[in-house]
């Protein structure tokens, strides 16, 4: 079996319609998916279970995505993080990349592109 196909992905996204669409797309590629809607639960979930990548929305309730990202990196967790956000200004993208994001995709987005970026990130 292809090692890539058992990768487990955590999706932190508060819009259920969008997270279900992403999950559908990723599951079609045989990824194992878990969805979380609130930022404060992401770190605990990553520590509790082993994931291969995180797809992170920046506008999460309770604790925003930037804070989540900073806490992940402060805890020295080397999980690949793909930020998916409506914030499309160059400074927002640079801020997230400086805070430790590996990839950045802006909304509106193309699910095919998201999948490709995820694959590229996992391959690296």
34 token code pair: 């878990």
In angstroms, give the least distance from the CB of 112 to other proteins.
Answer: 8
Tell me if 28 contacts other proteins by CB under 8 A.
Answer: yes
Choose the stretch contacting other proteins; rule: CB under 8 A; options: 13-21, 30-38, 68-76, 96-104. Answer: 13-21
Asked if residue 39 lies in contact with residue 68, where contact means CB atoms within 8 angstroms, the answer is: yes
Tell me if 95 contacts other proteins by CB under 8 A.
Answer: no
Burial label, 71 (beta-carbon count in 10 A; 0-12, 13-18, 19+): middle
Which residue, chain included where needed, has tokens 């793909």?
Answer: 82
Please report, as ranges, the residues that interact with other proteins according to CB under 8 A: 15, 17-18, 20-21, 24-25, 28, 86, 89, 107-113
């Amino acid at each position: 079996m292809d090692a890539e196909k058992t990768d487990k992905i955590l999706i932190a996204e508060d819009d259920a319609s969008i997270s279900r669409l992403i999950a559908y797309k990723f599951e079609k590629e045989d990824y194992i998916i878990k969805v979380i809607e609130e930022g404060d639960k992401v770190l605990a979930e990553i520590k509790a279970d082993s994931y291969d990548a995180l797809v992170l929305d920046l506008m999460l309730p309770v604790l925003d995505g930037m804070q989540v990202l900073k806490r992940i990196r402060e805890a020295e967790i080397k999980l690949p993080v793909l930020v998916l956000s409506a914030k499309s200004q160059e400074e927002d993208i640079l801020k997230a990349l400086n805070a430790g994001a590996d990839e950045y995709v802006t909304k509106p987005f193309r699910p095919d592109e998201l999948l490709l970026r995820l694959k590229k990130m996992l391959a690296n």
